Structure 1
C-alpha cells in the first residue's frame, strides 16, 4: 500500500485520507489506519491533508564534529534553503554527532525556530544523535525561550535544568526574556555580576555599560510580539585540534530580538533626517545594510527618535569594545557584520551578505580575556 499511496501523493499532494482511498478504490478506514501508523513516511497538516514527508519537509543539517558559531549556523541553513521564505511548511533542524554549538549560534537557532513557528510553520529540532547538546541547551534555558509548539527529538526535557541550577554557575547566565510588556529591569545588573565574577572588577563598569545599552535597545525598539532574550557564557578557550576551531578565553554575551531591526527602523527616516548619510550610502546596494549599522556603532546619534541624546547607546557599546579589544557581531535581515576592535579603535570590519532572512537584530559581544588577564 505504501507505494500506491506514494504514487497518489506525488501526483496530487495534500489529499485527505478519504480522497486517497477513493483514488485507490480502497476502504477509507483502512487507508487512514495505515497512514496513521507510518510515522516519518507520511504526515498530515492541520487540515488533515496528507503529504510525503521527505518531499514536504525542509531538512537543515548542521555541521558535525565541529564548533558552530553564528555564521557557521547561517551557512548550514543557507545550504538547505531559507526557512522563513520556504514554501515548505515543515522544517527540521538536525544536530549531528559531535556538533558543539556556541551561545551565539544557539541564539540564532532559537530565533529561526520561534520566527518560523510564529509564521505558521511546523518546526522540529532533532538531537537524537547529539544528546550532549540537548543537555547543554536545557542547562542554559534554551527551551524556556523556545515556542511550545516546536517539536524536540527525542523529547523536550520534562524538568528545566536552567530552573534547577539557575545562578549556581558564574560561567553562564541562562537565557532571560526581554519582554517590553513585562520587563525585568534587574537583568543587566545580574549579568554584570556573572561577568565580573570571572573577568574581574576592572570589567565592572564597561560590562554594565554594554549590557545596559544592549538590553535597552531591545526594550525600546523591538516592536515584536516575539519576546527578545539575553544570555551570557564564559569560554575558557582551547587550541584548534582534531578539526575543531580554536577559541580564545572570552565572555560571550548575546542580545536578540525579532523586531524591525536597526536597518528596518532607520531606512524609512534616513533620507529626511540624515541627508548627508543618505547620500553617502547606496541603498540599492546590499552592502548598504552592514555599512549603515557600522555607522551607528562608530558615530552614534543616529536614531528614529527625535529626543536629544538618542542613538548613542550602540556607539557607547562600540567605545567599550574599543577599550577592551572586543568583537561585536551584528546579524540582521540577510547579512552579518563583524566589528573587530584593537588598540583602542575599530581595527577591522567584515561582513557577509546573502544569508537566509532573519527578522530583528541579533548582537553578540565577545570580550577577549587573554590580553587583560
Structure 2
C-alpha cells in the first residue's frame, strides 16, 4: 500500500487523505494512518493536503558519451528537474568517468551554476570520477569564472592553467569575462584571431562581423548585474569550431517583449498569430527581418540579422538559448531552417553559440 500511495501522491500532490483513499480504492482510516506514520516521506500543509517531502538535494549526473553536446545536457537537466525552480537548496552536478562537455554545454553549466549560487543555493560540482575533465576545465578558465561559493570535488584546481597557457594555443580562447556595463572590442578580436588561425584567412572579415554582432547584441540585451563570458574551442578530431558568448541578464526576448506592442505593433500581431512559442517566433523575426530593438534609434536591430546572413555563407549553425527555450538556425546550401526546443529548464540570460564544421560538404550540424 505504501508504494502505491507514494506513487499516487507523487503524481497528484495537494489532495486530502479521503480523496487519496477514494481514488486508490482504499479505506480512509488506514490511508490516513499510513500518511501520518511516514512523515519522512509525506508532508501535510495547513489545508490538510498531502505531498511528498522534497528531496534533500537535486542531483544531475552528466554521462552517456565521451563528448556531451548541448542537446545531451539539456535532456539530462530536464530529466532531473529545473535546479533554479526546485525546492532543493543543494544542487549537485556530477560529471561521470570518460564524459566531457562541448564548449556550448560548458557555457550553460557555468551560467546555471553561477545563477544558482547567486540565489543562495548550495552548489557542488563533482569531478571525483572525471579528474582529467577538471584539468581540461582549468585550462579553459572555467574555474576562473565560477562563483567562489561553489564547492568543487575532490578540490578546486589552484594551478591556474588558463593563465599559465593563455594565448599559447590558437585553438583555444579561454573564457573571458564580459562586463555588461562596458563593451570591449578585444573579446571579438580574440575570438576572430583564433578562428582564422584554425580555419584560414578567407574567413576573417565574415567571422569578425558575426562575432562582433553577436557580442554587441548580447551586451545590448543583457541588463545584467553580473559578469558574462565568452570563449572558443577548436576540436581537431571533428574539424569543428565553437565560439560561445553568454550573459546572465534578461535575454534578447526579455528586453524586446516589453516594447514590442508599442514600438512594433505589426510584429507583435504577427507573433500573436504565430503557432510557435512566442519567444521562438520573436527570435525568428529578429534573425530574419531585423529592425527590432529596445533602443529607439534608426539603423538599430540589424546586428543579429547580419550575423545570420554571414553565417549562411559558412553553412554554419547559430544556437540561441533563452530563459526556457532554444532556437537553432541551420544553414545548408542556400537554405535557412529554424528548429527549436521549448519547456527547457530555466537558465536566465542569453547564451549564443556559433558552431562551424570545417570541410563539411553541406554544413549540416
- TM-score interval for Structure 1 and Structure 2 normalised by the shorter chain: 0.7 to 0.9
Q: Of residues 345, 355, 365 in structure 2, which corresponds to 1:366?
A: 355
- How far, CA to CA, are the matches of 2:130 and 2:110 in structure 1? 17
Q: Of residues 251, 257, 264 in structure 2, which corresponds to 1:267?
A: 257
Contact 1:71-1:336 at 8 Å conserved across structures? no
- How far, CA to CA, are the matches of 1:285 and 1:224 in structure 2? 31
Matched, 1:145 2:164: no
Contact 2:251-2:348 at 8 Å conserved across structures? yes
Q: How much is the aligned-residue C-alpha RMSD, in angstroms? A: 2.3
Matched, 1:67 2:92: no
Q: Structure 1 residue 254: deviation in Å?
A: 0.4
Q: Structure 1 residue 236: deviation in Å?
A: 2.0
Instruction: Give runs of aligned pairs for residues 99-178 of structure 1, distance below 5 A.
Output: 99-178=99-178
- State the match for 2:226 in structure 1: 226
- How far, CA to CA, are the matches of 2:230 and 2:283 in structure 1? 20
Q: 1:350 to 1:284 in 2, by over 3 A?
A: closer
SS of the residue 1:139 aligns to = helix
TM-score (norm 1): 0.80
Contact 2:318-2:328 at 8 Å conserved across structures? yes
Contact 2:141-2:161 at 8 Å conserved across structures? yes
Q: Deviations over 1:298-339 (max 9, x none)?
A: 111111110111111111110111111010111111111111
- State the match for 1:356 in structure 2: 345
Q: 1:12 to 1:291 in 2, by over 3 A?
A: closer
- How far, CA to CA, are the matches of 1:174 and 1:299 in structure 2? 33
Q: 1:279 to 1:130 in 2, by over 3 A?
A: same
Q: 1:312 to 1:149 in 2, by over 3 A?
A: same
- How far, CA to CA, are the matches of 1:267 and 1:80 in structure 2? 30
- How far, CA to CA, are the matches of 1:305 and 1:364 in structure 2? 24
Contact 1:250-1:370 at 8 Å conserved across structures? no
- How far, CA to CA, are the matches of 1:82 and 1:140 in structure 2? 26
- State the match for 1:207 in structure 2: 207
Q: 1:356 to 1:285 in 2, by over 3 A?
A: farther
- State the match for 1:323 in structure 2: 313
Q: Structure 1 residue 365: deviation in Å?
A: 0.5
TM-score (norm 2): 0.82
Instruction: Give runs of aligned pairs for residues 259-298 of structure 1, distance below 5 A.
Output: 259-282=249-272, 287-298=277-288
- How far, CA to CA, are the matches of 2:319 and 2:279 in structure 1? 14
Q: Structure 1 residue 58: deviation in Å?
A: 0.7
Q: Deviations over 1:189-208 (max 9, x none)?
A: 12211111111111100111
Contact 1:64-1:97 at 8 Å conserved across structures? no
Q: 1:67 to 1:283 in 2, by over 3 A?
A: farther
Contact 1:323-1:345 at 8 Å conserved across structures? no
Q: Structure 1 residue 12: deviation in Å?
A: 11
Q: How many residues in Structure 1 have an aligned counterpart in Structure 2?
A: 316
Contact 1:114-1:226 at 8 Å conserved across structures? no
- State the match for 1:3 in structure 2: none
- How far, CA to CA, are the matches of 1:225 and 1:102 in structure 2? 27
- State the match for 1:45 in structure 2: none
Q: Structure 1 residue 368: deviation in Å?
A: 1.9
Q: Structure 1 residue 344: deviation in Å?
A: 3.5
Contact 1:259-1:361 at 8 Å conserved across structures? yes
Range moving further from structure 2, 174-183 or 351-360: 174-183
Matched, 1:56 2:56: yes
Q: Which runs of 5+ in 1 are unaligned?
A: 1-6, 14-53, 239-248
Q: Deviations over 1:3-56 (max 9, x none)?
A: xxxx9994999xxxxxxxxxxxxxxxxxxxxxxxxxxxxxxxxxxxxxxxx931
Q: Structure 1 residue 345: deviation in Å?
A: 4.0
Contact 1:222-1:228 at 8 Å conserved across structures? no
- State the match for 2:22 in structure 1: none
Q: Structure 1 residue 285: deviation in Å?
A: 6.8
